[in-house]
Structure 1
Amino acid sequence: MAERGRDEESGKFTEEYPKEDFIKALKELESTGTTDIAESVGCDRRTAYLKLNILEEENKVESKKIGNVLLWELAVESV
């Protein structure tokens, strides 16, 4: 397992998959599923799902369920 970097001032671990990576993936892929976003960012599906939920709570992305698929897209105010 690769070591994660630490912030020099706080000593806290740096974020391995920044929120900006998920926003960028959604800009490139538009409305898409969790698995496609995870592949674009380079993380596992669970990590992508959790990060996207955080972004949804922050009103930066929106989700909608169509059948068994959860589709994500940028929130209107984030565009």
Structure 2
Amino acid sequence: MANRERNEDDGKFTEEYPLEDFLDALDELGPSGTTDVSDYVGCDRRTAYLKLQALEDDGEITSRKVGNALLWELDE
């Protein structure tokens, strides 16, 4: 965790991959799988999955199963 940036106001670590990055990815890519989103954002697949799941829990995006994969998309 060396070299992680801290927020100047409260000293907490800044979020490396904000949720907005994942919304931007889906806006740019359209409906996409977890791997496509992780590649776009530049994070590992597990991080992307957890962030996408959090966005789905918040009602920002939806997912549907296509074969063995989850397809994520903005909730219009």
TM range (shorter): over 0.9
Aligned equivalent of 1:64: 64
Kindly provide the amino acid, as one letter, of the partner of residue 11 in structure 2.
G
Aligned equivalent of 1:32: 32
1:1-79 correspondence runs (5 A): 3-76=3-76
Give the superposition deviation at 1:2.
5.8
Q: Percent identical across equivalent pairs?
A: 62
C-alpha distance in structure 2 between counterparts of 1:53 and 1:74, whole Å:
12
* TM-score normalised by length of structure 1: 0.91
Count of aligned positions:
76
For structure 1, list consecutive stretches of 5 or more residues without a partner in the other structure. none
**Poorly superposed stretches of 4+, deviation over 4 Å:** none
RMSD of aligned alpha carbons: 1.1
For structure 2, list consecutive stretches of 5 or more residues without a partner in the other structure. none
